[in-house]
Structure 1
Amino acid sequence: MITMKDVIREGHPTLRKVAKKIAIPLNQEEEKLGNEMLEFLINSQDPEIAEKYELRPGVGIAAPQVDVSKRIIAVHVPSDDPEATEPEFSTVLVNPRIISHSVQQTCLPEGEGCLSVDREIPGYVPRHKRIRIEYFDLEGNKQKKRLTDFSAIVVQHEIDHLNGVMFFDRIDPDNPLALPDGLEVLESEE
């Protein structure tokens, strides 16, 4: 089981490397890693389990964050519909890549956080509002998916990790809280 002690923090060299592509089909170790990363996210969103194991809540994690420089990410984005029994998007993505994206950009009103960053970093992080991704699932099947708004932001954040990019690299260093022209702030549903 992955816990916070397995998550490396900013400053660790693995977080700045471009992760290696994974050969399909995955080996057992890679499949196990993908499942454990997804399990970590699900556990981190369960208040009792999170408290018991001192997990910080997360919606996405990339293999480089657990010191494995391979192109594999897990996301578990809960639905914003209180009646929903299924998450909005929950899967492991192997060798994910963005194959198209909107010109329209968006960002989270409170900025972004990261399991590998133990400090608050204020600032808007511009992301594409809509993306289309291609990836392999754990069984080695090629998948395509369209994502918008929060799910799109989460996947872009995690793909950045595969390329050695941290979210704060995308914040305007001179004026972190200035909204660039055309950047839409994603409204929370609460």
Structure 2
Amino acid sequence: MITMDDIIREGHPTLRQIAEEVPFPLSEENRELGDNMREFLKNSQDPELSEKYQLRGGVGLAAPQLDISKRVIAIEIPNMEEEDGEPFLSEVMYNPKVLSHSVQQAAIEEGEGCLSVDRHVPGLVIRNNKISISYFNQDGEKRNIRLKNYPAIVVQHEIDHLNGIMFYDHINEANPNYAPDDVLLIQ
């Protein structure tokens, strides 16, 4: 089981590397990696388990955050409209790629956080509001999906980890809370 002790923190060199593609068919090791990453996210969102194991809540995790330089991300976004329903997006993505994106930009109003960053970093992280991505699932099937708003931001954050980019690299240093008028602010 992955715990916070397994997650490397900012300053670690792996977080600044470009991760390697994962070959298919998937090895048992890479399948297990994806399963463990998704399990961590589910556990981190469970009030009892997160308290018991001292897990910070997360909706996304990238393999480089575990000091594994592979292009694997796990996403576990709860469905905000259904209290106990199915998650909005629950997926392990191997070799994800952004195929296209909107001109419209968006940012989370309260800023972004990261399991690899133990401090609050104020500022707006401006990203594309809509993206189309391709990835392979654990069965080796190629998938194409479109995401917008919060889910699009989460996936872009995790794909950035695969490319050695931290969320705060996107913050305007001179004016951290500046957003052009046409940027959609998501609460």
- Please state which band the TM-score falls in when normalised by the shorter chain: over 0.9
Q: Which runs of 5+ in 1 are unaligned?
A: none
CA distance in 2, matches of 1:14, 1:83: 37
Q: Is 176-185 or 122-131 further displaced after alignment?
A: 176-185
Give runs of aligned pairs for residues 135-146 of structure 1, distance below 5 A. 135-146=135-146
1:26 is aligned with what amino acid? L
3-state DSSP of counterpart to 1:146: strand
Q: Which residue of 2 aligns with 1:20?
A: 20
2:91 is aligned with what amino acid? T
TM-score by length of 2: 0.98
Alignment of 1:57 onto 2:79 = no
Alignment of 1:5 onto 2:2 = no
**1:107, distance to aligned residue in structure 2 (A):** 0.4
Q: Which residue of 2 aligns with 1:172?
A: 172
Identity of aligned residues (%): 56
2:23 is aligned with what amino acid? A
Q: Which residue of 1 aligns with 2:46?
A: 46
TM-score by length of 1: 0.97
Q: Which residue of 1 aligns with 2:133?
A: 133
Residues 34-71 of structure 1: CA distance to partner in whole angstroms, max 9, x if unpaired?
Answer: 00000000000000000000000000000000000000
Q: Which runs of 5+ in 2 are unaligned?
A: none
Residues 134-170 of structure 1: CA distance to partner in whole angstroms, max 9, x if unpaired?
Answer: 0000111101111111100000000000000000000
Q: Which residue of 1 aligns with 2:77?
A: 77
Q: Is 173-182 or 24-33 further displaced after alignment?
A: 173-182
CA distance in 2, matches of 1:90, 1:12: 28
CA distance in 2, matches of 1:141, 1:124: 35
CA distance in 2, matches of 1:26, 1:61: 19
1:2 is aligned with what amino acid? I
Q: Which residue of 2 aligns with 1:151?
A: 151
Q: Which residue of 2 aligns with 1:118?
A: 118
Give runs of aligned pairs for residues 78-97 of structure 1, distance below 5 A. 78-83=78-83, 85-97=85-97
CA distance in 2, matches of 1:90, 1:171: 28
Q: Is 83-92 or 164-173 further displaced after alignment?
A: 83-92
Residues 89-109 of structure 1: CA distance to partner in whole angstroms, max 9, x if unpaired?
Answer: 110000000001100000001
TM superposition outliers: structure 1 runs of 4+ over 3 Å: none
Cα RMSD, aligned residues only: 0.8
CA distance in 2, matches of 1:154, 1:66: 18
